[in-house]
C-alpha cells in the first residue's frame, strides 16, 4: 500500500523543499521505496536540493502530456537506494498540471510499488499547491515560529480539511503532522520567538518534529545533498527523528532546549 504524503505550508521560504528532500531520503534509508515529486511548475528547485539537476531530462508535465514514460522521467538517486525524484517542468505554464493527470501519475507510481510518494508543494494556495495536496493521505505542514508562517499554516490546515479528495469523497480526513523548522531555543528563552508549546496550542496538530535553525541546512543545499545525510548535524538528526516518528517510533524531542552555558559563557558568549 503506497502512501501519498504532501509537504506544504502556504508561506514560502519556510523549508518545504528542504523538508521534502530530507524526509524522502530518510524514508528511503529506512528501506521504503520512495519517490519525491516537485509540484512547483515553472520554479523547480527540488532537483537542486537533491543534487540531481544535471540529470533532469523529462519532467512530470512531459509524463502527463504523454511525451515521456514515467520511467524515463524518474531520476534514481545515486547515493540513496530506493529513492527517486520526479522533477517539475521549468518552462511550461502552470495549467499543464491537471487533477486527472496528477491522479494518473500517482496511480502509476502506486503500481510501480512505491511505498511513499512525497509531494513537495509550491508556496501559496494556487493550482500547484492544491494539486500537491489533493490526493494526499498524510500531510506535513511546515511552519516557522513566526507570526505570518503560523497564520498561513492554519489556512493550509483549513484547505486540507475541506478541499482534498478525502474531504470531497467523505473519507477519513488527511492525517496531519506539524513540523516546526528554523527553531532557535535561545530566542524562545528570551521571549522573542514563539515556543513549540505556543504553536501547538494555536494550531492544535500533532507534532512530528522540531528542526533547529542550523548552518547545516545551507551547507546541504549548497552541496545538493539532503541534510539528513549529514548524520553529525543537529538538523540532520532532527529530521532523522521526524522520519522515525512518521514510521511510528516514539522518540523524545531534541534540540528544543537551550544549551547550558557556564557563567562566563553567558556573559561573553555569542550564540
Partner 1 sequence: MGLLDIFRSRSQEPSAKMAKERLQILIAHERGQGQERTPHYLPEMQKEILEVIRKYVHVEDDAVKFEVEHNEQFELFELNITLPEKGEGRERSD
| Interface with partner 1 (CB under 8 A) | 146-147, 150-151, 154-155, 158, 161-162, 186, 188, 190-195, 198, 201-202, 266-271
Q: Give one word for 68, left, alpha or beta, with left for phi > 0 and alpha for psi -120 to 50.
A: beta
Provide the minimum distance between the beta carbon of 26 and partner 1 in the complex, in angstroms, as a whole number.
Answer: 30
Closest distance between partner 1 and the C-beta of residue 96, in Å? Answer: 28
Q: How far is the CB of 199 from partner 1 (least distance, A)?
A: 9
Residue 171 or 198: the one with the smaller Cβ distance to partner 1 is 198
| CA distances to 15, 85, 97, 121, 243 from 32, in Å | 23, 14, 27, 21, 11
Distance CA 146, CA 259 (A): 22
Please name the residue ranges forming H helices in the chain: 16-29, 46-50, 60-64, 70-73, 99-111, 127-134, 147-163, 165-168, 185-189, 196-203, 215-223, 234-246, 263-268
Residue number with CB closer to partner 1 (138 or 154): 154
Q: Which three cell numbers stand for residue 241?
A: 527523528
The residue (of 66 and 268) whose beta carbon lies closer to partner 1 is 268
Which sign does the torsion angle of CA 260, 194, 49, 99 carry? positive
Which residue lies nearer to partner 1 by CB, 1 or 264? 264
| Beta bridge partners of residue 140, listed in sequence order | 7, 177
d(CA 1, CA 158): 27
Are the beta carbons of 220 and 226 closer than 8 angstroms?
yes
Residues 6 or more apart from 270 whose CB is under 8 A from it? Answer: none
Nearer Cβ to partner 1 (55/155): 155
Tell me the closest approach of the beta carbon of residue 228 to partner 1, in angstroms.
Answer: 29
Q: Could you tell me whether strands 116-120 and 3-8 are parallel, antiparallel, or unpaired per DSSP bridges? A: parallel
For partner 1, the closer CB: 201 or 231? 201
Closest distance to partner 1 from the beta carbon of 56 (Å) = 37
Q: How far is the CB of 158 from partner 1 (least distance, A)?
A: 5
User: Shortest Cβ distance from residue 40 to partner 1 (Å)?
Assistant: 24
Q: Which three cell numbers stand for residue 153?
A: 499554516
Closer by beta carbon to partner 1, 112 or else 186 = 186
CA dist 271 and 268 (Å) reads 10
Amino acid at each position: 500500500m503506497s502512501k501519498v504524503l504532501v509537504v506544504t505550508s502556504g508561506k514560502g521560504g519556510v523549508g518545504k523543499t528542504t523538508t521534502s528532500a530530507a524526509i524522502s531520503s530518510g524514508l528511503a534509508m529506512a528501506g521504503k521505496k520512495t519517490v519525491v515529486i516537485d509540484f512547483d511548475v515553472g520554479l523547480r528547485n527540488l532537483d537542486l536540493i537533491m543534487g540531481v539537476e544535471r540529470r533532469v531530462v523529462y519532467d512530470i508535465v512531459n509524463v502527463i502530456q504523454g511525451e515521456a514514460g514515467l520511467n524515463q522521467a524518474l531520476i534514481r538517486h545515486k547515493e540513496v537506494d530506493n529513492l527517486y525524484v520526479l522533477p517539475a517542468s521549468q518552462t511550461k505554464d502552470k495549467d499543464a498540471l491537471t487533477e486527472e493527470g496528477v491522479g494518473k501519475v500517482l496511480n502509476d507510481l502506486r503500481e510501480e510499488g512505491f511505498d511513499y510518494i512525497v509531494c513537495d508543494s509550491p508556496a501559496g494556495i494556487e493550482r500547484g499547491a492544491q494539486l500537491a495536496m489533493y490526493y494526499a493521505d498524510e500531510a506535513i505542514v511546515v511552519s516557522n515560529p513566526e507570526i505570518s508562517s503560523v497564520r498561513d499554516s492554519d489556512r493550509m490546515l483549513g484547505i486540507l480539511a475541506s478541499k482534498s479528495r478525502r474531504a470531497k469523497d467523505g473519507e477519513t480526513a488527511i492525517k496531519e503532522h506539524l513540523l516546526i523548522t528554523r527553531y532557535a531555543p535561545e530566542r524562545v528563552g528570551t521571549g522573542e520567538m514563539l515556543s513549540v508549546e505556543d504553536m501547538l496550542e494555536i494550531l492544535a496538530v500533532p507534532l512530528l518534529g522540531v528542526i533547529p535553525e542550523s548552518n547545516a541546512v545551507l551547507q546541504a543545499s549548497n552541496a545538493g545533498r539532503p541534510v539528513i545525510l549529514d548524520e553529525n548535524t543537529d538538523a540532520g538528526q532532527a529530521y532523522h527523528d521526524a522520519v522515525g516518528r512518521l514510521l511510528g517510533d516514539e522518540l523524545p524531542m531534541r534540540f528544543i532546549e537551550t544549551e547550558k552555558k557556564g557563567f562566563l559563557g553567558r556573559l561573553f558568549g555569542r550564540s
